[in-house]
Chain A
Amino acid sequence: MHIMLDRDLCQGHGTCGEEAPEVFELDAEGNLVVKQPEPPESQREAVKRAVKYCPTGALTLQE
């Protein structure tokens, strides 16, 4: 499971960080940091929600 972030699309809403705080975080400037680009299986459901609810469609999940 690999997370792809399209920086052209991300606006820093922080929705992903609310869904999967162990994987996504906004830094002090409001830029998204993907802390775990290859998240463990235990994070799968949370990451799927983060991808689904991202308001700009900036995240995709690759198996």
Chain B
Amino acid sequence: MAEAVLDRHTGGSAPPVLSGSLPLLGHLLQLRNAPIDLFWRLRRECGEIGELNFAGNRVVLLTGEEAQEAFFRAEEEQLDQAAAYPFMKPVFGRGVVFDATPEQRRQAMKNQSLRDKFMRGHAEVIAAETERMMDPLGDEGELDLLDFFAELTIYTSSACLIGKGFREELTPEYYRVFYDLEKGTDALAYVNPSLPLPVFRARDRARKRLVELLTDVFARRAGVEGENRELFDILLTLRDQSGAPRYDVDVITGMFISMMFAGHHTTSGTAAWTLIELLRHPDVATAVVNELDEIYADGRDVSYQALREIPALEAAVKESLRLHPPLILLMRKVMKSFEYKQWTVPAGKLVGVSPAVSNRLPECFPEPERYDPDRYAEGHEADRRLFAWIPFGAGRHRCVGAAFAMMQLKAIFSTLLRSYTFELAQPPESYQNDHSKMVVQLRQPCRARYRRRAP
């Protein structure tokens, strides 16, 4: 009988509310201080479903493979992604939606840059951009992993997703501006995204600065004609029925941010964590470098190989993604009451899933704290537990850039690790993520030493 009830998701009960909720703020301070600990505490105390309170926003957290599958399989009309991220609104600005519907995504995928057949061109661009970043490095020295990869991925993302001409306009200032935008995703936005806080002021200054920078870019590109015109050049010249420009630079800046945002801090952080984990595990690093040396011994192109299998490197990246997912809380707004087993979440609340919790569930990933790329060996394939291994999410809203990101990371490391050896410049345990913002970043300093390999 009990099982029959479970199967039908009959609903009825309200999910338990997690203890320790303060007046007005709820669990918000815990979310800002130690979000992953908060989510685990909820799982211990409430089980697979429990309610959090972020300054009056009720978020029902689902944990465990089964509850997460119900979340990821829910219809768009029931769980809506767009409405769930208030802290992104001031980053994107007016006229830009946070996310497209699955239908719009499919439309966009049809002829857009993420389609499989464009990947080889992208791989070539990424290898070339990595070479350019290596140019000023010299034979040996020290670099900050966040700065290095954040700058690199600004160039790769803009060159692949927006246009090569546009990318040539970018300078290191852009990645610093993006860093301020990313840091502007403080959870206090749940109280009010316009609170007079330094991080929010920096966010608004950064966005304004980006509009200035892009205004200059478009002024310089005004004379570009014919085939060399790129997406934004064309958008700027569109007119509405009355003959007025359809988009101004402010709106185009929002489009630029939204096109760049999803693939930037995520890929940048994953590249840094992959390198850190390799350096923490020298045996894995040796296997990865040997594999690359062997594959490329015949002089083949990175653009060819990055689309094919590089098993040891891919497993190293996947394991870094499992332990350090760039997004630790995925949310949807409940549009039509959501039922799971005996529980009901009414419309208006949020539901969430945490990749940081899921990726370390001991019942899905034995010895979850251990960095073990062998989990992805033939026959194990931990990443095929589609609703448990979720650094990219799952279901309709699974990251559309996942394949692009994997290719990008393969192209970056194919280039980097054949030219340089690296070592940690700090104690291994000193590399930590900063979880005080909704966009997770490495905490600085996060330095590494490099030395050019003998040819």
Instruction: Report, nearest first, the 8 A-B pairs whose CB atoms are least far apart.
Output: A30-B110, A55-B403, A30-B106, A57-B386, A12-B106, A14-B116, A15-B116, A12-B109
- Decide: A18 and B117 in contact? CB cutoff 8 A: yes
Determine the residue in chain B with the shortest Cβ distance to A31: B106
Determine the residue in chain A with the shortest Cβ distance to B112: A30
- Shortest B119–chain A CB gap in Å is 9
B239: Cβ under 8 A from any A Cβ = no
List residues of B whose CB falls within 8 A of some A CB.
Answer: 72-73, 102, 105-107, 109-110, 114-117, 384, 386, 394-396, 398, 400, 402-403
- Decide: B110 and A12 in contact? CB cutoff 8 A: yes
- Complex alpha-carbon distance, A29 and B110, angstroms: 7
Chain A interface secondary structure, helix, strand, loop or mixed?
loop
- Shortest B109–chain A CB gap in Å is 5
- Complex alpha-carbon distance, A8 and B72, angstroms: 9
Which residues of the other chain, A, contact B400 by a CB distance below 8 angstroms? 11, 13
- Complex alpha-carbon distance, A18 and B308, angstroms: 13
Beyond known contacts A9-B398, A14-B117, A30-B107: 6 more, CB 8 A cutoff: A11-B102, A11-B398, A13-B114, A14-B115, A55-B402, A57-B384
List residues of A whose CB falls within 8 A of some B CB.
Answer: 8-9, 11-15, 17-18, 26, 29-31, 55-57
Known: A29-B106, A31-B106. A56 touches B116 (CB 8 A): no
- Decide: B394 and A9 in contact? CB cutoff 8 A: yes
- Complex alpha-carbon distance, A1 and B114, angstroms: 30
Which residues of the other chain, B, contact A8 by a CB distance below 8 angstroms? 72-73, 395-396
- Decide: B395 and A9 in contact? CB cutoff 8 A: yes
Which residues of the other chain, B, contact A9 by a CB distance below 8 angstroms? 386, 394-396, 398
- Decide: B105 and A11 in contact? CB cutoff 8 A: yes
- Shortest A5–chain B CB gap in Å is 14
Determine the residue in chain B with the shortest Cβ distance to A56: B398
Which residues of the other chain, A, contact B117 by a CB distance below 8 angstroms? 14, 18
- Complex alpha-carbon distance, A14 and B109, angstroms: 9
- Complex alpha-carbon distance, A30 and B117, angstroms: 14
- Complex alpha-carbon distance, A57 and B387, angstroms: 11
- Complex alpha-carbon distance, A11 and B106, angstroms: 7
- Complex alpha-carbon distance, A14 and B116, angstroms: 6
**Interchain residue pairs with CB less than 8 A apart (27):** A8-B72, A8-B73, A8-B396, A9-B394, A9-B398, A11-B102, A11-B105, A11-B109, A12-B109, A12-B110, A13-B109, A13-B115, A13-B116, A13-B400, A14-B109, A14-B116, A15-B116, A18-B117, A29-B106, A29-B107, A29-B110, A30-B106, A30-B107, A30-B109, A30-B110, A56-B398, A57-B386
Which residues of the other chain, A, contact B398 by a CB distance below 8 angstroms? 9, 11, 56
- Shortest B110–chain A CB gap in Å is 4
- Shortest A27–chain B CB gap in Å is 10
Which residues of the other chain, B, contact A18 by a CB distance below 8 angstroms? 116-117
Which residues of the other chain, A, contact B114 by a CB distance below 8 angstroms? 13
Which residues of the other chain, A, contact B395 by a CB distance below 8 angstroms? 8-9
- Complex alpha-carbon distance, A8 and B396, angstroms: 6
- Complex alpha-carbon distance, A8 and B400, angstroms: 14
Which residues of the other chain, B, contact A56 by a CB distance below 8 angstroms? 398, 402
- Shortest A49–chain B CB gap in Å is 11
- Decide: A26 and B116 in contact? CB cutoff 8 A: no
- Decide: A11 and B396 in contact? CB cutoff 8 A: yes
Which residues of the other chain, A, contact B106 by a CB distance below 8 angstroms? 11-12, 29-31
- Complex alpha-carbon distance, A5 and B289, angstroms: 37
Which residues of the other chain, A, contact B105 by a CB distance below 8 angstroms? 11
